[in-house]
Amino acid sequence: MLNHIISMKDFSRDEIDIILSRAKEFEPVARGKRSEMLSGKILATLFYEPSTRTRMSFETAMKRLGGEVIDLGSIESSSIVKGENLADTIRVIGNYADAIALRHPREGAARMASEFSKVPIINAGDGAGHHPTQTMLDLYTIMRESSLSGLRIALVGDLKYGRTVHSLAYALSLYHADVTLVSPAQLKMPEVIKKDLKKQGAVVRETTSIEDVIGDVDVLYVTRIQKERFPDPAEYQKVAGVYRVTEELLKKACENLIIMHPLPRVDEIDPAVDKTRFARYFEQSFYGVPVRMALLAMAMETV
């Protein structure tokens, strides 16, 4: 069995805990200590959608572990424009690399790719579907900067199209977190995910207002409205800018609140918040490196 990383639904809490504790061991390497653990290994990055953090933190993780990265580059400069399908592209890249990090606009693409691949597929985001490696780093951030036990968390913003919150919601149910979903009515968490969460015994509340929850949560997880996923630009305009976290709003926050965001942010967090004691989104983006080290080591079976 290959160690594909496709969805948080495939992980038990014990497996996640092992990954988080391995990530902790990798933190010094993420900060620059030399390691050759993945020497001789090659990761291929195959991104059909834009990315800054995910692609670059995978690359950093691989290189700081002594491994190498090959990157497809822009889709326009690859044979994909000649009409090559995903299955063939995956079959070919599997001849070159020891694992493939794939980001694709179509939901289910990573799962489909795993059926054709002879090397592990790491889902780096499949449309509005899942983003499991982001969730691992989100959990790690909570573990390092707050606490996963007795956690009260609000997921804010685009819960309909946001893949980070879909994956995170599944994982939070394994930690019995108290989850409040905050979104405009048009961008609610899909029913199928809520049903799954309830089946796992999670208590999930919903509201449209951050003010309702800001005084009662340990983590405020803010997301961008996913403009590119709206079938109709006019619909996006109706919800653009609905939430904005400001210093004023934070006057009502719990003493130990932390604010997270998978980034990129557009206008949902006022830059003035960056210097407050609440902000953790830039630390969060750093934690992507040790967490992806742990995931790469697992996928490539070196630990």
Q: How far is the CB of 53 from ligand NCD (least distance, A)?
A: 5
Site string for ligand NCD, 61-100 (x = CB under 6 A): ----------------------------------------
- When asked if residue 129 is in the footprint of ligand NCD (CB under 6 A), the reply is no
- When asked if residue 157 is in the footprint of ligand NCD (CB under 6 A), the reply is no
The residue from 104, 131, 160, 261 that is catalytic is 131
Do 26 and 293 touch, CB atoms closer than 8 A? yes
The yes-or-no answer on residue 163 being catalytic is: no
Provide the token pair at 99.
Answer: 């694992």
- When asked if residue 299 is in the footprint of ligand NCD (CB under 6 A), the reply is no
Task: Report the residue count for the chain.
Answer: 303
- Binding-site size, ligand NCD (CB under 6 A): 11
The yes-or-no answer on residue 103 being catalytic is: yes
- Angle at which helix 163-174 crosses helix 191-199, to 10 degrees, equals 10
Residue 284 CB coordination number (10 Å): 25
Classified as helix, coil or strand, 299 is helix
Q: How far is the CB of 262 from ligand NCD (least distance, A)?
A: 4
Site string for ligand NCD, 106-125 (x = CB under 6 A): -------------------x
Contact with ligand NCD (CB under 6 A): which of 4, 224, 280, 292?
224
Q: Which is nearer to ligand NCD, 99 or 136 (CB)?
A: 136
Distance separating alpha carbons of residues 79 and 76, to the nearest angstrom = 8
- Look at the block and give the residue holding tokens 């424009």: 81
Provide the token pair at 227.
Answer: 């403009």
Q: Which is nearer to ligand NCD, 123 or 223 (CB)?
A: 223
Distance separating alpha carbons of residues 89 and 113, to the nearest angstrom = 9
The yes-or-no answer on residue 53 being catalytic is: yes
The yes-or-no answer on residue 24 being catalytic is: no
Site string for ligand NCD, 45-64 (x = CB under 6 A): --------xx----------
Q: What is the DSSP letter of 269?
A: B
Do 268 and 242 touch, CB atoms closer than 8 A? no
The yes-or-no answer on residue 238 being catalytic is: no
Do 297 and 99 touch, CB atoms closer than 8 A? no
- When asked if residue 102 is in the footprint of ligand NCD (CB under 6 A), the reply is no
Residue 270 CB coordination number (10 Å): 16
Q: How far is the CB of 134 from ligand NCD (least distance, A)?
A: 5
Q: What is the DSSP letter of 245?
A: B
Residue 167 CB coordination number (10 Å): 25
Site string for ligand NCD, 236-275 (x = CB under 6 A): --------------------------xx------------
List residues near ligand NCD by CB under 6 A. Answer: 53-54, 125, 131, 134, 163-164, 223-224, 262-263
